[in-house]
Structures are given as C-alpha cells and as structure tokens.
C-alpha cells in the first residue's frame, strides 16, 4: 500500500506519482511510513509578480499512517501524511538577486479511498487466497492549510488554502504485470492573504496517471510511472495570469520487502515536458512498517 509523496507544497498536489493506490490489503492492517525526498529545480510564480529565474532545493521528511478498512463489505483505506520541509534557493526580484531559506511543517494531507469493485474487504486468513483481477476505486484527498506560512514572503512551505483532490482509478492484473490508470481533479480555495494581503485564486488542475507494474515472485515489485496534468491557471486580485499548466512527468518506483512487517521503497521522477513550473527532479526513499490485522 503506497504512501502519497509531497514535493514542493505549492505545486505538487496535482503532480504526485503513486503506483498501487488502489491495491487490496487485509482489513485491520496498519501502516506506518517514514521517508525522505529531495527535489531540485524551478518553481513557477504568478507572472504578475516581479519574480524570475527561481531555483529551489527542498529536503522533505515525510511521516504517514494508513489503515485498511472494511467499508460496507468492500476494502478501503484511510491515510494521513505530514511532511516537514527544508527549502532554500535563489531568484531574481525586480532584477535583483534574492535568497530564501526556511524550514517547517508543510500542509498535512488526509485521504479516504474505497475499492468499489474487485477488492472485497477480507481478514488476513481469507486474504491469502485473494488474487486480483480488475479493481475500480475512488478516493478523496484533502490538504489542510496548517503548514508554515508568511504572507510577507513569495515562497512558502504552506499554501494558506484548502485543497481537495477527488480521484477515480482502475487496476488490472495481467499475469506478473499490473496496469493502472487514474484520473483526478485538484480543486483550490482562495488564498486571501497572498504576499501582503492580495487574493490569489486558482482554476482546477486536471491530471491522469498511468503505471506499468511488474511483480516478482520474491515479493519485490517495480513500476514505470507517468502523469500528465493541465489547467491550474491562477488569478491575482481577479487578474488572470499566463500560467496555464500542460506538463508531463515520468518516474520509477521499486519496492523491496524485508520481512512480514518491514519494506523499503525507492522512487524518482522528473519533468520531461513543461509549459509552466515542472522543471524539477525528485528522488526519495521510504520505509514502511505493517502491523495489526493478524500479522
């Protein structure tokens, strides 16, 4: 069961890449996740603001918890993710070089997902005989505006707005391979205190995501991942900005089981085509501990 990953808090909500988001798991199993992710590259700004040539680096500690649920006979999951970010970088402000260094908690994320078809809720004793065919699932993820935020600064760790991401997905097993496709819309409330009391709003960001996963007999699995996202055009005090996103990212994931309770996941992604704000690279590692549900 994968943990959603947080990169740059201002732009990553429609860009995260997460294979096996709708895989089945025994009811009552808990997952504790700790990870580290490093990003480097460009960050887009509202074109109405005098910021250019931004280059940022972030180090992100990610902590998460998830639990497999029985939702009226079908399997589901609740998870919460809390990231802590160290951010530093340079940019040009009104033609002059400026620097920003800050650290703090980013916006936490909460998600409820349910497998609508093909993944019944099963205790561990019955789950050992479960074999996936076709799974259809849906989820809702919410980011709360509780991260560190300073309205006197253009670059922040928190976003000072609520973010909602409804998503639907399908997962099809074909022998040792699993193919997945998801579609989502990321919806934003307004930031009423953007850079000195301005109001910043943003159109929905639409995304599709695909994964080709190979499952080895040893329990190791790896995937090739891709996502495309479009939309997300912003407004500053009602003035429409020229920051429409039409971007591609690709990546890879490798999961390595250690024992019945522990596993390690390695992942990386990069922007390969960008109209606005996708020119950053990400690499990370996550540890996952499982307990409960009869394990």
- Check pLDDT > 90 for residue 163: yes
- The pLDDT value given to residue 95: 73
pTM, two decimal places = 0.90
pLDDT tens across 30-88, in order?
999 999 999 887 655 555 555 667 777 889 999 999 999 999 999 999 999 999 999 88
Q: Report the chain's mean pLDDT, rounded to a whole number.
A: 88
Q: With pLDDT > 90 as the criterion, what percentage of the chain qualifies? A: 67
- The pLDDT value given to residue 65: 98
Q: Which CATH architecture has domain 30-291?
A: Beta Barrel (2.40)
Q: In the predicted model, what is the mean pLDDT of residues 193-217?
A: 93
pLDDT band for 216, please (50, 70, 90 cuts): very high
- Check pLDDT > 50 for residue 1: no
Task: Name every residue whose Cβ is closer than 8 Å to that of residue 197 and which is 6 or more positions away in sequence.
Answer: 151
- The pLDDT value given to residue 178: 97
Mean pLDDT highest for which of 152-161, 237-246, 262-271? 262-271
- Check pLDDT > 90 for residue 185: yes
The DSSP line for the chain is -------STTT-TTT---TTTT----TT-EEEEEEEEEEEE-----TTSSEEEEEEEEEEEEEEEEEEEEETTEEEEEEEEEEEEEEEEEEEETTEEEEEEEEEE---EEEEEEEEES-B---HHHHTT----EEEEEEEEEE-S-S---TT-SS-SS-SS-EEEEEEEEEEEETTEEEEEEEEEEEE--EEEETTTEEEEE--EEEEEEEEEEE-TTS-EEEEEEEEEEE--EEETTEEPS--EEEEEEEEEEEEE-SSSEEEEEEEEEEEE-SSS--EEEEEEEEEEEE-TT-
Lowest model confidence (mean pLDDT) among 13-22, 163-172, 208-217:
13-22
Of 163 and 99, the structure prediction assigns the larger pLDDT to 163
- The pLDDT value given to residue 275: 67
- Check pLDDT > 70 for residue 202: yes
- The pLDDT value given to residue 77: 97
Mean pLDDT highest for which of 102-116, 148-162, 272-286? 102-116
- The pLDDT value given to residue 9: 37
Domain ranges of the chain: 30-291
pLDDT band for 278, please (50, 70, 90 cuts): low
pLDDT band for 192, please (50, 70, 90 cuts): very high
Backbone angles phi, psi at 125, to 5 degrees: -65, -30
Can you tell me the distance from the alpha carbon of 273 to that of 226, in angstroms, rounded to the nearest whole number? 12
- Check pLDDT > 60 for residue 281: yes
- The pLDDT value given to residue 11: 45
């Amino acid at each position: 069961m994968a943990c959603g990953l947080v990169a740059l808090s201002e732009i990553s909500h429609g860009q995260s890449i997460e294979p096996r988001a709708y895989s089945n798991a025994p009811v009552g199993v808990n997952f504790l996740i700790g990870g580290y992710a490093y990003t480097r590259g460009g960050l887009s700004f509202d074109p109405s603001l005098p910021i250019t040539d931004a280059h940022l680096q972030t180090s992100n500690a990610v902590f998460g918890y998830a639990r497999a649920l029985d939702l009226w006979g079908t399997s589901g999951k609740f998870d919460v993710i809390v990231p802590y970010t160290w951010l530093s970088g340079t940019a040009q402000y009104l033609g002059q070089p400026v620097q920003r260094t800050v650290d703090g908690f980013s916006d936490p994320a909460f998600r409820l997902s349910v497998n609508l078809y093909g993944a019944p809720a099963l205790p561990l004793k019955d789950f050992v005989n479960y074999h996936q065919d076709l799974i259809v699932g849906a989820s809702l993820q919410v980011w709360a505006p509780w991260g560190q935020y300073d309205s006197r600064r253009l670059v922040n760790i928190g976003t000072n707005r609520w973010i909602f991401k409804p998503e639907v997905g399908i997962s099809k097993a074909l022998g040792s391979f699993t193919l997945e496709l998801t579609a989502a819309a990321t919806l934003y409330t307004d930031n009423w205190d953007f850079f000195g009391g301005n109001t910043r709003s943003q159109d929905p960001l639409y995304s599709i995501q695909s994964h080709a996963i190979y499952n080895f007999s040893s329990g190791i699995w790896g995937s090739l991942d891709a996502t495309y996202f479009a939309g997300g055009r912003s407004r500053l005090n009602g003035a429409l900005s020229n920051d429409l996103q039409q971007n591609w990212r690709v990546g890879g994931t490798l999961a390595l089981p250690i024992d019945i309770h522990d596993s390690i996941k390695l992942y990386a992604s990069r922007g390969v085509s960008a109209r606005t704000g996708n020119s950053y690279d990400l690499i990370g590692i996550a540890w996952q501990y499982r307990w409960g549900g009869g394990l």
